[in-house]
Amino acid sequence: MTLASARAVTLTPAQAMIRFGLGGRPDQKPPTDPRAWLLGQLDGPDPALATPSFAGLPSGAAALAALRDDRMTRKRLARQGLSLKDHFKPRSREMFRVDAAAQLGWALRTNAPFRERLVWFWANHFTVSMRQGGTAALIGPFLREAIRPHVTGRFTDMVLAVERHPAMLLYLGNAGSVGPDSRAGVRRHRGLNENLGRECMELHTVSLRAGYSQQDVIAMAKLLTGWSVDPRAEPTGFRFRPFAHEPGPQTLMGRSFPPGEAGGIAALRFLSTYHTTWTALATKLVRHFVADQPPAAAVAHVAGVLAGTQGDLRAASAALVDLPQAWSPGRKIKTPVEYFLSVGRALGETEAKVPAALGMLRRLGQPLWAAPLPDGWSDLGGDWSGPDAVLARIDFAYTMAGRSHDRAPAAIATAALGAQLRPETLAAVSTAGSPREALALLFASPEFLRR
């Protein structure tokens, strides 16, 4: 089948809901026109940002202020010899929990699950992990301020928002990066942190395909010196500090960029529209939505759309929908968070109970916003199908199957999987000894584990 014939493919509602979405819900009817349903989700601003559950959530600057206040409180209690356990409830920790509940709850009940999948995809592409940098309270604001507004916009705009967000600056240590020859560098003998410069090239934009050198990494890191954080800088908390910025122009991949904040912005614009960036992004998108081994023709098509539109992410997302390879039977194993959300949606859950939900994700092997490395969570099925991972899913399935509900297991199975539901799975669900056993069998079935 060719790309030109993609629109002639009979797209089933179940494929749209599972391959591109987060699974069916009992209160959401399957789309009558799957393609139009998917493409319609790419229009307009992110719907989550206008919902009551997101209203009033803290900005990046507010999260920075909470982190600062928590540090001061810890120091004061230590001076007084008082126990943190008895006298301290971190504001930043509560911010994390509230934002986690809002983000997970929206994913459970959204009627725009394709768009939500894209949010989670890009959040993983631009990984910020609470494992380092004291970023837990900042990851929610990062998603709301740097990812969600740009999911269907220009890739360059997302890159600029991401690399200037305090969550990323703290996670990769750039908030304290000082140009060796800057005023701060000379006076304080502080130095350069290359992490953000390296990762924004290797992981976020051009990739190793560009063949850049270590000198290019250093040049990029110098261009980003002085990019720091300040809780007084509403809304995100980004602050450019000229006294910490490396003076003089920098040569990056054969091009000269001026000093100052404008030089760093120009460098990011250059990297985000470089030709290898399109191939790197297309490969990741096709791997995520289509197959662990991305078909070369599919990658070339999506890369061509990105190049032809100068990084229009709406156009690239629409191109994924029209890939004939994307409509083959389920080939991808769900990641733990996708599995968690699809089970919750199948049961009609609308809220994520924190911290219980966080504990479930941890036991499934994908703790929320806590990827071990800056390259994020794996998108390869083999990394999520080992014996321990399978046992964790079986335990989770049995736990969730025990939750009270008023619908027959067979009806839940049909709403969740539609035409993807195999006759043998439906028979097993219909003849199980109890509703809990029936749902556990459903959630452990091959078609439910895949998308």
pLDDT in the model for residue 80 = 86
Average pLDDT, 10 consecutive residues per value, the chain (451 residues): 51 92 95 97 97 94 95 87 81 94 98 98 98 93 99 99 98 97 92 97 99 99 99 97 98 98 99 99 98 96 99 99 86 95 97 95 98 98 94 96 88 95 97 96 96 91
* CA distance linking residue 320 with residue 299, whole number of Å: 10
> Whole-structure pTM over 0.75, yes or no?
yes
Q: Where are the domains of the chain?
A: 35-84+91-273, 275-326, 333-448
CA angle 92/97/103 to nearest 5° reads: 120
One-letter amino acid of 249: P
**Structure tokens of 282?**
């297309």
Helix (H) or strand (E) holding 123: helix 113-125
- Burial (CB < 10 A; 0-12, 13-18, 19+), residue 180, is middle
* CA distance linking residue 180 with residue 443, whole number of Å: 56
- 420: closest CA among 17, 8, 1, 10? 17
What is the per-residue burial (b if ≥16 Cβ within 10 Å, else e) of 419-449? ebbeeebbebbeebeebbbbbbbbbbbebbb
pLDDT in the model for residue 8 = 45
Do residues 416 and 345 touch, judged by C-beta distance below 8 A?
yes
Enumerate the H helices of 409-449 as residue ranges.
Answer: 409-417, 423-430, 435-443, 446-449
One-letter amino acid of 252: L
- 96: closest CA among 154, 138, 132, 38? 138
- 385: closest CA among 423, 335, 435? 335
Residue with tokens 């800088």, as numbered in its chain: 233
Angstrom CA distances, 339 to 21, 284, 286, 397, 404, stand at 12, 20, 19, 10, 19
* CA distance linking residue 241 with residue 445, whole number of Å: 55
What is the per-residue burial (b if ≥16 Cβ within 10 Å, else e) of 119-151? bbbbbbbbbbbbeebebbbbbbbbbbbbbbbbb
